[in-house]
Structure 1
Amino acid sequence: MSHVFPVRVFYEDTDMAGIVYYANYLRYIERARSDIVEQLGLDQRAMRAEAMVFVVTRVEADYLGTAGFGDRLDVHTTHAPKGAVRWIFDQEVRRGDTVIFRAIVTAVCMTTAGKPQRLPAKLRAKLSNTGT
């Protein structure tokens, strides 16, 4: 599946040099993943009430360029389940056609007690119906 999430760079996102602070790219890609979960019809609050959460266990990131105050960016994400508990996200932050940040993120479905948990059946069904 693929997904595009728009981001506008606010003044608060920048550092003293006037460019996006490096950790904020992780916030941008997190927002995109949260949007994907919502668009797939999953309610993370309800999941948590049932003692199930998604936990990021790995991020491999490359900073390829910079963005500044006022820039309009897009987070492009492709994603697919991997095995019974993992969900892999390949994410790029782009300014126009230029990729300025790239990350591969592994999220694991877990119980709130920290035990691996199968991806929710609703999620597996939706992802299998889209050809991923």
Structure 2
Amino acid sequence: MSHRFSLRVYYEDTDLAGIVYYANYLKFIERARSEWVRGLGIDQVALKQGAGAVFVVRRLEADYLSPARFDDQLLVETDCEATTPARIILMQRVLRDDALLFTARVILVMLDAAGRPLRLPAAIRQWSNAASAE
């Protein structure tokens, strides 16, 4: 089961040609990932304050398939492909109605306050594994 996040394209999201500027897709999928994490019951502010741990993007592979335009209603779907002790691998898609506009495979890791890698806490691995099983 995919996590779904809906958004509308605003004028500020577009370029001179009237289409969504390519970097804004990264903002769209970031918002969707934040809502996915929140939906898992993970409080990222508390995680940072308590354990000094933050999620960061380790790797991202993106494909721009078709443009979105001003005032389009978009849907971002997020699926957890896999988790390891140190990584969460997500597949994200941006759609307008049934048209696939953008895809990204995103690898998330955790870092401590000094920027050193951390193993994912067991509870986070369980939550993300449960999300990938749905």
For the aligned pair, the TM-score class normalised by the smaller chain equals over 0.9
The answer to whether residue 55 in structure 2 is matched with residue 83 in structure 1 is no
Question: What whole-Å deviation, never above 9, does each CA across 1:82-104 have from its counterpart, x for those lacking one?
Answer: 31110111011001111010100
The answer to whether residue 111 in structure 2 is matched with residue 113 in structure 1 is no
Tell me by how many angstroms 1:55 deviates.
Answer: 0.8
TM-score, normalization by structure 1: 0.93
Q: Which moved more, 1:122-131 or 1:79-88?
A: 122-131
SS of 2:3 mapped into structure 1? strand
Tell me by how many angstroms 1:6 deviates.
Answer: 0.4
Tell me by how many angstroms 1:121 deviates.
Answer: 2.7
- Report the CA distance shift for 1:21/1:128 in structure 2 as closer, same or farther (over 3 A): closer
TM-score, normalization by structure 2: 0.91
Asked if structure 1 preserves the Cα contact closer than 8 Å seen for 2:88 and 2:128, the reply is no
Tell me by how many angstroms 1:122 deviates.
Answer: 2.4
- Counterpart of 1:43 in structure 2 is 43
Mapped partners of 2:131, 2:33: distance in 1: 17
Gaps of 5+ in 2: none
- Counterpart of 1:72 in structure 2 is 73
- CA RMSD, aligned part only? 1.4
Tell me by how many angstroms 1:127 deviates.
Answer: 3.1
Q: Which moved more, 1:121-130 or 1:18-27?
A: 121-130
- Report the CA distance shift for 1:131/1:20 in structure 2 as closer, same or farther (over 3 A): closer
Tell me by how many angstroms 1:80 deviates.
Answer: 4.2
Mapped partners of 1:131, 1:99: distance in 2: 21
Identity fraction in percent: 51
- Counterpart of 1:56 in structure 2 is 57
Tell me by how many angstroms 1:81 deviates.
Answer: 4.1
- Report the CA distance shift for 1:89/1:64 in structure 2 as closer, same or farther (over 3 A): same
Mapped partners of 1:59, 1:17: distance in 2: 26
